[in-house]
A and B are shown apart, each in its own frame.
Chain A
Amino acid sequence: MSTVEPLLQVEDLQVGFKTQDGFVPAVRGVSFDVYPGETIAIVGESGSGKSTTAHAIINLLPGSGKIAGGSVRFEGRDLTKLKRNEMEDVRGKLIGLVPQDPMNSLNPVHRIGFQVEETIRANGLATSKRAVRKRAVEVLKEAGLSDADTRLRQFPHEFSGGMRQRVLIGVGLSSHPKLLIADEPTSALDVTVQKTILDHLESLTAERNTAVIFITHDLGLAAERAENIVVMNRGRIVESGPALEILRNPQHPYTKRLVSAAPSLASTRLGSRSATVGLASSATPAGTPVPPVIEFQDVTKVFKIRTGGPRSIPFTAVDKISFQVPKGSTMALVGESGSGKSTAAKLLLKLEEKTSGKIFVDGVDQDSLDRGKLLEMRRKMQVVFQDPYGSLDPLHNIGNTVAEPLNVHKIGDAASRKKRVLEVLDQVALPTSVVSRYPNELSGGQRQRVAIARALALKPEIVVLDEAVSALDVLVQAQVLELLANLQDELGLTYLFITHDLAVVRMIGDYVSVMQKGAIVEQATVSEVFDSPKQEYTRRLLDAIPGADVDLSA
């Protein structure tokens, strides 16, 4: 075994970007080897240089990027010294790439067939028209698309995200490359789709003994899919080695931090709460029933989808859902994209009108509210959205952003508002100096904390968290979740937590409603759902959590 030569040797790789502030290094002396047939995962947060490393290997850095030093030896040849046309022969033929975003990586105006055939021709796998077409059908079949003949004549918009990624994987592997670089290949996909795609990718590459460099932000996913992992932070490798060994016994403080923060690996409920009460026992010890803070009764939302003519097709986004959330607890609505979980949240916030059913907040029927009462209700309910880059107005500074709800509801005078702004910023652990700063000067996590501060300004009882931590890096995510749990303990907040990520639910949720196609398929406490899921769908979601079956204790 020791005679096997490494396929790829990256040695002291230095990559930087030209910016107005001069040359900014992004990768600072990275070295690792990839052996034939092995899968190696590069793990890191955004900005750690993991994608830049991958792009530097195949010389696809964006215009301002430049390899400043080091070497990338592929089968003995230094790829950094190749001429452009020589490099084009290496790309695709010897090293395949599966890009990050399947939604934007296929040209929407060309048929799938044309795009697959283009690759086949470019790599010289076949020349005659018929042979190219035949090979294209094979590629799609290998990629796991059954009726490949008809699929070739379709356009990208007729494919789901998972199908598109299958096509891209098929294209990446079409010329049987010796190395495949997969850059966050499933980050944009639902967990169950992610699992099937990765399973498929794994069997394809195992069959052909293709080496894989797998770029991901998810430590659990890396451990599950790769034998060896490389952990990067700020352009450097902080730790590398066998996946399980690193997970079980991380040495570097950064890796330790990362392992303990990964929601998919180990999780218990954050915050200092006592054992959660069961759904049925929402009653005081005295026996008098306490009405739940939020109650949905058979709530349905039907959208009309226009078909271009005067007619429209009804589409049931939320289908007769019912649930109750006791005061001070968290109800997690979990589901894949299109399951209706976000629509349910919008119905509660009255950002959408429900079609039928009843919603009670604090025992008050929401339909009975007039305009004045509605404004009052809005004070009690606040929302934090998913995208920290989209939820703050870039032209308003942080102070004005947090003060806006106070101004709208005319609470207190200017001085007391200012005091309240500083108070909530302190609650979300931001220094008071951010008051005069603009959102673009803050990181994603900090913006999300500002959004939370804005939500808290009015002292609400209910906070709707719509995928509020999904866009954040692992460490920051853990930090924000902890903050949310502490705020809940301190202020007795009730959360409606919308997420696609079951792993996170374990850290913040008390009750879970699993949604599928608009309906709630399973509802229970978090521990019940994780320990003994009743529904097949829930079980599939749980299985799909990456790294769930990695045994850390051994």
Chain B
Amino acid sequence: MSSKNPVRTAPHFVAEVDEGGLGAVDAVRVSDRKSNLWLDAWRDLRGRWMFWVSAVFILFIVFVALFPTVFTQVPPNDGCILTVQNETQAAELGVPVGTVISDHGPLPGHPLGFTRQGCDVFSRIVHGTGTSLSVGLIVTVIVAVMGIALGAFAGYFGGWIDSFLMRIGDIFFAIPYILAAVVIMSMFLADRNILIISLAIGFFAWPSTARILRSEVLRVKQLDYVMASEAIGVSKLRTMFSHVMPNSLAPVIIISTVGLAGAITAEATLSFLGVGLPANIFMSWGNDIAQAQQSLRTAPQVLIYPSIALSFTVLAFILLGETVRDALDPKARATR
């Protein structure tokens, strides 16, 4: 007992047993509702406006990419004129002969105005959707597959496998992927296409994903349930696929959605540097943003509209990535 002198004798207070009584120790509180991981995730997603906004927007973008002609009949590349040269054109556009169309503001039938080359901005954005979206998705898939595979093996098996894979990663990491892509794209002067540019970007962008997954795997593999799984007799590989990987993927989902945005911008950067997709064959938001720089001060709309398309698409993917990750994670679900 304490060596101190007691100042007082405290009264012995006993509370009334409250309404609910004591109940059983550690009573289980679960409902009988049927559930599984995907059903729970869907229930969770259903109630979130962020999910609906982003999902609907993405579906819309995909629709635009597949069927651009539903939205505009104006060709994106053909029939671009710098100035109105004859009466037919003047009648069509509703402006007098001699008007400069290059960088012109909106006219009837051309709601967003014209580029420096006199092409319709709206039409170029609509037709560019497919290119930008494909590059973004293909790069993301390449980066995710390579990053996840290499990062998971490196982290889970450790030792020399880890050192070897991560040093390779470091080599790729040390080369700025834009620079590498410039070199690769310069090698393919004649036949540049969406797949080539996606490979050029994706092949050098995976190390950061691999690093993130590896560190996550390193954390997860120390947890007791991984050891428990080994103690049961589950093989190392099966433990990795059924326990370690699913629990390490959350940050990769997030980084991938951000990476999707990065890929679309990377394509734009390459186009700006003149080593991207040829502007006269492929419409892409990146191309338009790059070319708009020349007329930024006189005709900002040429830059702003493709940029808005890019930002909203990227935002939609990020929002979707985040809501899906939260919904698939029972830990995050429990707190709501």
Contact = CB atoms under 8 A, between A and B. Distances in A.
Given A237-B15, A245-B12, A431-B30, A225 B2 contact: yes
A408 interface: yes
Contact of B8 (A38, A225, A243, A257): A38
Contact of A395 (B3, B29, B37): B37
A397 B30 CA distance: 13
A226 B1 CA distance: 7
Nearest to A246: B12
Contacts of B28: 430-431, 433-434, 442, 446
A228 interface: yes
A434 B27 CA distance: 12
- Report the interface size class on chain B: 35 or more
A433 B32 CA distance: 6
Interface in B309-332: 329-331
B36 A251 contact: no
B246 interface: yes
B39 to A, nearest CB: 9
Interface string B213-229: 00000000001110111
B224 A37 contact: no
Contacts, number: 170
- Report the interface size class on chain A: 35 or more
Contacts of B242: 396
Interface in B22-58: 22, 25-26, 28-32, 34-37, 40
Contacts of B79: none
A349 B8 CA distance: 56
B83 interface: no
Given A20-B336, A241-B10, A404-B232, A39 B35 contact: no
Interface in A478-493: 479
Interface string A374-414: 01001101110111001111111100000011001100000
Given A37-B7, A409-B233, A475 B225 contact: no
Contacts of B6: 38, 227
A476 interface: yes
A254 B22 contact: yes
Given A1-B8, A4-B8, A226-B2, A394 B233 contact: no
Interface string A447-461: 000010010001000
A240 B30 contact: no
A330 B189 CA distance: 76
A4 B7 CA distance: 8
B8 to A, nearest CB: 6
A210 to B, nearest CB: 10
A154 B11 CA distance: 47
Interface in A434-451: 434, 436-443, 445-446, 451
Contact of B10 (A1, A228, A379): A228
18 contacts: A20-B336, A202-B3, A227-B4, A239-B15, A241-B10, A241-B11, A245-B12, A252-B17, A378-B232, A391-B224, A397-B35, A408-B233, A433-B30, A434-B28, A438-B334, A439-B330, A446-B26, A479-B26
Closest 7 CB pairs of A and B: A241-B12, A391-B224, A378-B233, A440-B334, A390-B224, A438-B330, A251-B14
Interface of B: 1-15, 17-18, 22, 25-26, 28-32, 34-37, 40, 223-225, 227-234, 238, 242-243, 246-247, 329-331, 333-336
Interface of A: 1-2, 4, 20, 33, 35-39, 202-203, 205-206, 209, 224-228, 236-246, 251-254, 257, 349, 351, 375, 378-379, 381-383, 385-387, 390-397, 404-405, 408-409, 430-431, 433-434, 436-443, 445-446, 451, 454, 458, 475-476, 479
